[in-house]
Chains A and B, each alone.
Chain A
Amino acid sequence: MATVKLRDVKKSYGSVEVIKGVDIDINDGEFVVFVGPSGCGKSTLLRMIAGLEDITSGTLEIDGQVVNDLEPKNRGIAMVFQTYAIFPHMTVRENVAFGLTINKASNEEKEKKVAEAARVLQMEHLLDRRPSELSGGQRQRVAIGRAIVRDPKVFLFDEPLSNLDAALRMDMRMEIGKLHNSLAASMIYVTHDQVEAMTLADKIVVLKDGRVMQIGSPMELYHEPANLFVAGFLGAPSMNFIPVTVEAVEGENIAISSPSLDRISVPGKGRSFTVGQTATLGVRPQYIRPASGDSGMLHGKVALTERLGSETVVDVTLASGGTLIVALPEDKVLAEGTETSFDFDPAQAHLFPETP
Chain B
Amino acid sequence: MASKLTRSNRAGWIMAFPGIALMTLFIIVPFFLAFAFSLTNQRLASPNAVEYVGFENYSDLLGLAVFTLEPERDESGAVVRDEDGEIEYPRLRNFTRNNPDYPNLAGKREWFSWASGENRTVVLSSDVVFMKALVNTFTFVIFVAPIQAGLALCLALLINQKLRGINVFRTVYFMPVVVSIVVVSILWRFIYSPGDGLLNNALGWLTFGAFTPQDWLGNTSTALPAIMAMSIWQGVGFHMVIWLAGLQNISPTLYEAGNIEGANKWQTFRYITWPGLRNTAVLILIVITMQAFALFAQIDVMTSGGPLDSTQVLVFQAVERGYGKQDISGGSTISVILFVIVLTISLIQRYLTRER
**Which residues of B sit under 8 angstroms from A86, Cβ to Cβ?**
257
CB-based contact B271/A87 at 8 Å? yes
Determine the distance from Cα of A73 to Cα of B260 in the docked complex, in whole angstroms: 5
Which one of B13-21, B194-202, B261-269, B305-313 is at the A interface?
Answer: B261-269
Which A-chain residue is minimally distant from B253 (CB atoms)? A85
A37 within 8 A of B: no
- How big is the B interface, by class? 10 to 19
Which of B251, B261, B278 touches A89 (beta carbons < 8 Å)? B278
**Which residues of B sit under 8 angstroms from A99, Cβ to Cβ?**
261-262
Within 8 A of B (CB), among A62-92: 71-74, 77-79, 81, 83, 85-90
B256 within 8 A of A: yes
Which A-chain residue is minimally distant from B263 (CB atoms)? A102
Which of A79, A83, A87, A90 touches B260 (beta carbons < 8 Å)? A79
B254 within 8 A of A: yes
A52 within 8 A of B: yes
Complex interface bits, A137-168 against B, C-beta within 8 A gives 1, otherwise 0? 00000000010001000000000000000000
Cross-chain pairs A/B with CB under 8 angstroms, 19 sampled: A51-B259, A51-B260, A52-B259, A52-B260, A73-B260, A73-B261, A74-B262, A78-B260, A79-B256, A79-B257, A81-B253, A85-B256, A88-B275, A88-B276, A90-B271, A90-B275, A99-B261, A102-B258, A146-B261
- Give the A-binding residues of B (Cβ under 8 A): 251, 253-254, 256-263, 267, 271-272, 275-276, 278
CB-based contact A85/B262 at 8 Å? no
**Which residues of A sit under 8 angstroms from B263, Cβ to Cβ?**
102
CB-based contact B261/A150 at 8 Å? yes
A73 to nearest B CB, angstroms?
3
B286 to nearest A CB, angstroms?
20
Interface size on A, residues (CB 8 A): 25
A308 to nearest B CB, angstroms?
37
**Which residues of A sit under 8 angstroms from B278, Cβ to Cβ?**
89
A103 within 8 A of B: yes
**Which residues of A sit under 8 angstroms from B272, Cβ to Cβ?**
87
CB-based contact A98/B260 at 8 Å? no
A188 within 8 A of B: no
**Which residues of A sit under 8 angstroms from B256, Cβ to Cβ?**
52, 79, 81, 85
Within 8 A of B (CB), among A3-25: none
CB-based contact A102/B262 at 8 Å? yes
CB-based contact B261/A83 at 8 Å? no
Determine the distance from Cα of A237 to Cα of B276 in the docked complex, in whole angstroms: 45
CB-based contact B260/A77 at 8 Å? yes
B308 to nearest A CB, angstroms?
49
**Which residues of B sit under 8 angstroms from A73, Cβ to Cβ?**
259-262
Determine the distance from Cα of A103 to Cα of B271 in the docked complex, in whole angstroms: 13
**Which residues of B sit under 8 angstroms from A205, Cβ to Cβ?**
none
